[in-house]
Amino acid sequence: MLKIRNLHAKIDDKEILRGINLDIKPGEVHAIMGPNGSGKSTLSAVLAGNEAFEVTEGEVTFNGKNLLDMAPEDRSREGLFLSFQYPVEIPGVSMVNFMRTALNEHRKYRGEAPMSASDFLKLMRDKKNLVEIDSNLTNRAVNEGFSGGEKKKNEIFQMAMLQPKLAILDETDSGLDIDALRIVANGVTKLKSPENATIVITHYQRLLDYIVPDHVHVLYKGRIVKSAGKELALELEEKGYDWIKKEFED
């Protein structure tokens, strides 16, 4: 589904991704961990098409297509979804209009007619229940004045509405209390299927108790320096990153 080869990216002449290789198949969950400043959010931004970053080397294919050639909105239409580490507020755009527009754009890309108003409202209701968000939230402007937890839940609500093939969750667990964490994690788990895949970026093993990864990778200084099964997350929780840094420097 996703194939990343020797990906390098920079911002302001500072190289941040320095040769990333990663393969993701349908049905898989990959966790990406690593110290702050390693390039985890940069990798998500580059995959989503954030133009602030310049790709200097490497290839990325998604569903067999060259992802790096596609506009951000086409990456979304192809089924890529990014839950932001820091969700942005969009004053003046209501959640309802935002979701209806996004959903219908996706349908148009697949050659489907816009969703009827009643089907759309029913879908909104179902997905709101999935992440247990307050009913009024969807009448408000996107993320405007939402609490930290509400913003993170709202990211998963959008994911539930759009049903992406590949979802990248960038520290969706940070800033959530225990109950919100469980709701968000269960929401993500319910959306899992053999056809879609998830990349979970997190600092905490806690989230991975709910969303069990098939593979865990450690990103350090712009490279994946270690990959293993879910036991690696437990080892990192226990021992921190120093041993990985040392192994890498050696």
| Residues making contact with ligand ADP (CB under 6 A) | 11-12, 16, 34, 36-42, 52
List the strands of the sheet with 54-62, edge to edge: 14-24, 2-11, 54-62, 65-66
Q: How far apart are CA 6 and CA 51, in angstroms?
A: 19
Residue 42 CB, nearest distance to ligand ADP (Å)? 3
52 binds, among ligand ADP, Mg ion, none (CB under 5 to 8 A by kind): ligand ADP
Q: How many CB atoms lie within 10 A of CB 48?
A: 17
Q: Is 36 in the site for Mg ion (CB under 5 A)?
A: yes
Q: Closest distance between ligand ADP and the C-beta of residue 219, in Å?
A: 6
Residue least distant from Mg ion (Cβ): 41
Q: Is 172 in the site for Mg ion (CB under 5 A)?
A: no
Work out what residue 191 binds among Mg ion, ligand ADP, none; the CB cut-off runs from 5 to 8 Å by kind: none
Question: Which strands form 166-170's sheet, in the order they lie side by side?
Answer: 80-83, 166-170, 197-201, 29-33, 215-220, 223-228
Does 116 bind Mg ion (CB under 5 A)? Our answer is no
Q: Which does 12 bind (CB under 5 to 8 A by kind): ligand ADP, Mg ion, none?
A: ligand ADP
Amino acid at 230: K
Q: Of 9, 16, 22, 41, which lies in the binding site for Mg ion, with binding defined by CB under 5 A?
A: 41
Minimum distance from residue 235 beta carbon to ligand ADP (Å) = 19
